Amino acid sequence: MDAVTVSPKYQVVIPKVVRERLGIRAGDRLQVLCFDDRIELVRTQPMRRMRGFLKGLDASFARDEDDRV
**Where do the structural domains in the chain lie, given as residue ranges?**
1-47
Write down the pLDDT at residue 25: 93
Which residue(s) pair with 43 in the sheet? Answer: 30
Please report which helix (H) or strand (E) contains residue 65, including its range.
none
> Which stretches of 1-69 are assigned E, i.e. beta strand?
30-35, 38-43
Cα separations in angstroms, 50 against 18, 20, 32, 54: 23, 22, 20, 9
Single pTM value for the model: 0.60
Write down the pLDDT at residue 47: 77
Write down the pLDDT at residue 69: 62
Give yes or no for a contact between 19 and 4, defined as CB atoms under 8 angstroms apart.
Answer: no
**What CATH architecture does domain 1-47 belong to?**
Ribbon (2.10)
Other Cβ atoms less than 10 A from the Cβ of 25: the count is 8
For 31-67, how does the pLDDT look when each residue is reduced to its tens digit (9 = 90+)? 999 999 999 999 887 778 778 878 888 888 888 877 6
